[in-house]
Amino acid sequence: MTMIRLLGGLVLLTLLAPAQAAPSPTLAVQPVPAAPALAARAYVLMDFSSMRVLAENRADERMEPASLTKLMTAYAVFKELAAGKLKLTDPVTISDQAWRSEGSRMFVKVGTKVTLEDLLKGMIVQSGNDASVALAEHVGGSEKGFVTLMNQYAQALGMSRSHFTNSTGLPDPELYITARDIALLARALISEFPEHYKYYSIKEFTYNSITQYNRNLLLWRDQGVDGLKTGHTESAGFCLVTSALRDDMRLIAVVLGTKDEKSRAQESLELLNYGYRFYETHRLYAAGQPLYTLPIWKGAEKSLRLGLRNDLYVTVPRGQYKNLTAAMEVDARIMAPAAKGQAFGAVKITLGGDVIAKPALVALHDVAKGGVWRRMIDSIRLWWH
């Protein structure tokens, strides 16, 4: 059931029930308390699907990343793998520079050949700086060349307040990130490379007869946690980026600058528990699903189907799903040609009078210009309108 009325130059289409969204269990509407105040320099909690931030503190201030830098190192390597420029079985020769890397190590030997996949495990599970440098040199020709690639990918992801100077996270005045930027990076790793994300849940890895354990304590404490990365230097403090999946809802927590290993795990778990306790996420509409069909003038076809480029998810306080309203604002008069993906309006999702999402409504197919007769007939019809 719908109601349509003209609003300025737009058609307002009110949808009385959002489509394709599974209703939440019956719960009494409850107020959402303030997010917990964590003993950390900065933090952010973000829903993976809707990208809604549920809690934050100093999320846009520059912070030292320590080994969280290796998330971007991995992202750049995964990009090369996806492009077919690398294979997991590729042998990588360990340079003297990689072998001499300071800090945490995988314990590779200079001059030996190590598979790219083993180096990825050594960097992700063991946080090996030697593995990070070896990967950087293999992909970028040099660590300096690889850093250029890291920064290019950071800008493409919208990490506008972050800058990288090495592949390891060793302290440098010009190496910095923000909690929000790292959450964006974590989301990209999970969504773009699900086949490689599995490395982040590995609890231990043995190389050169040396077994080392993943420093992410939450992999043992919470069965929903399946990543991502720890970091620590004296100046950065103890940091942790965590992702967890419970009942089809994935959250990403970034906690920076806690006092010790135990604290970063405990503060991260508290943040995740807050999000799962008080919020729920729903998919309202699927990408490419026709949401509205309207006339198109002077075209080879008489109608144009509109929908969304991407799945539309919303995250709302528990018990509030039934109070969502959805409306479409659509251009009142559309002329051919229309290109697939071209925007002709928006879907507006509101809760309690607040707009919580407003993605573009786009053409789901091309419509070419009509012939001379069609254009002439429609011109006459438009004149009478």
Query: One of 49, 50, 70, 132 is an active-site residue; which one?
Result: 70
Query: One of 50, 67, 101, 263 is an active-site residue; which one?
Result: 67
- With 50 as the cut, is the pLDDT of residue 16 above it? no
Query: Is residue 369 very low, low, confident or very high in pLDDT (cuts 50, 70, 90)?
Result: confident
- What is the C-alpha radius of gyration for the chain, rounded to an integer number of angstroms? 25
C-alpha 260/C-alpha 173 separation (Å) is 23
Of 360 and 27, the structure prediction assigns the larger pLDDT to 360
127 is catalytic: yes
Q: Which of 2-11, 273-282, 294-303, 309-318 has the lowest mean pLDDT?
A: 2-11
228 residue type, one letter: L
* Per-range mean pLDDT, top range of 6-10, 188-192, 288-292: 188-192
Question: Tens digit of pLDDT for each residue in 122-153?
Answer: 999 999 999 999 999 999 999 999 999 999 99
Query: What domains can be seen in the chain, in order of their start residue?
Result: 2-20+286-384 (2.60.410.10), 42-281 (3.40.710.10)
CB contact at 8 A, 273 and 285: no
pLDDT at 374: 67
Token pair, residue 110, equals 């200079």
Of residues 217, 221, 230, the one with CA closest to residue 257: 230
Question: Tens digit of pLDDT for each residue in 102-127?
Answer: 999 999 999 999 999 999 999 999 99
C-alpha 242/C-alpha 264 separation (Å) is 10
* Percent over 90 (pLDDT), the chain: 78
Of residues 92, 76, 65, 230, the one with CA closest to residue 147: 76
Task: Name the pTM for this structure.
Answer: 0.89
Report the b/e string of 166-175 with b at 16+ CB within 10 A.
bbbbbbeeeb
Query: One of 104, 127, 243, 263 is an active-site residue; which one?
Result: 127
The mean pLDDT of 13-22, rounded to a whole number, is 50
C-alpha 102/C-alpha 256 separation (Å) is 22
- Report residue 197: phi and psi, to 5°: -60, -25
104 is catalytic: no
Query: Is residue 5 very low, low, confident or very high in pLDDT (cuts 50, 70, 90)?
Result: very low
Q: Which residue has the tokens 């043992």?
A: 220
Task: Decide the pairing of beta strands 204-207 and 210-213.
Answer: antiparallel
191 is catalytic: no
